[in-house]
Amino acid sequence: MTGRLTLAATPIGNAGDASARLREALSGADVVAAEDTRRLRDLARRLDVSVTAELIAVHDHNERDRADDLVARAQSGQWVVVVSDAGMPTVSDPGFRVVEAAARAHVTVEVLPGPSAVLTALALSGLPTDRFCFEGFLPRKDGERARALTALATEPRTMVFFEAPHRVAATLAAMADAWGSDRPAAVSRELTKTYEETRRGTVGELASWADAGVKGEIVITVAGRAAQAPTVESLVDEALSRVAEGERAKDVVADLATTAGVPRRELYNAVLAARGDRQ
């Protein structure tokens, strides 16, 4: 007998964003695995939903131990609903271990989609949304944070981070040190709540603004590294490699110059000079 295992997105601030499917799940589940059962009860009260399910606390510190039991309950015929404090379970919140255990046991997982702080902040940022990555919380220690930011220095996609309000200024300053103070960024706080705010600017400007203190739940969105325009010097090695594979130098230069928008004669002379140096 197989029950149901459901991941349900919860509002990130405004209870009015709760879906009809979330209400149905909370009122009809046999088991609700919540990151914080007190917050779950408060959400149910605000939604005017009666939760008769068994409530189980599932958080970062115990999810690994409880995942198999939740899956076993679904296998036995119970409807198990997994929720986080806000947004989609598994996205910087508990839920991943449960899905992992369900996959091992070949138990189907359904998702009730809904609010997402990551996507909401990305949409508000004014930064490119065609390609992005979610980096969660950066390390708290200065050295580890600096190393993490250095590793992301050449990331071309828009990056989304969560951060605690008391660390926002230091994090933005560290981003300015690692990537340059002129990198475009946005800071969103209290998304969907009464005092929602999004500030846009460079990481340097936002770091100065944050020095006065920032309150609320924070999402930082930062532009990826801008593509570097090709130069004659950067194309020489590619040209020589193609020539070594049998292509004519003039044909290679014509192709690369047209594609990259660099002067053909200048590139041809640079290739000839490099060939002479390497012979």
- Nearest Cα to Cα of residue 118 among 202, 188, 198: 188
Mean pLDDT of 51-57: 96
pLDDT digits (tens, 9 = 90+) for 203-245: 999 999 999 999 999 999 999 998 777 888 888 999 999 999 9
Q: How many CB atoms lie within 10 A of CB 273?
A: 11
Residue 233's pLDDT is: 87
Whether the per-residue pLDDT at 122 is higher than 60: the answer is yes
pLDDT tens per residue, range 80-100: 999 999 999 999 999 999 999
HSE of 215, CA atoms in CB hemisphere, 13 A: 4
Cβ–Cβ under 8 Å, residues 187 and 168:
yes
Average pLDDT, whole number, for the chain? 94
Our measurement of the distance from residue 40's CA atom to the centroid of its chain's CA atoms, rounded to an integer in Å, reads 24
Give the separation between CA 137 and CA 228, rounded to whole angstroms: 28
pLDDT at 277: 58
Mean pLDDT for the stretch of residues 116-144? 96
pLDDT at 134: 97
Residue 216's nearest CA partner among 164, 170, 263 is 164
Greatest pairwise CA separation for the chain in angstroms = 81
Q: Which helix (H) or strand (E) holds 185?
A: strand 184-189
Instruction: Please state the rounded mean pLDDT for residues 185-199.
Output: 97
Question: pLDDT category, 278, cuts 50, 70, 90?
Answer: low
Per-residue model confidence as pLDDT tens digits over 41-51: 999 999 999 99
Q: Which residues pair with 34 in a beta bridge?
A: 57, 83
pLDDT exceeds cutoff 70 at 141? yes
Average pLDDT estimate for 249-261: 90
Residue 230 is predicted with a pLDDT of 82
What's residue 261's pLDDT? 86
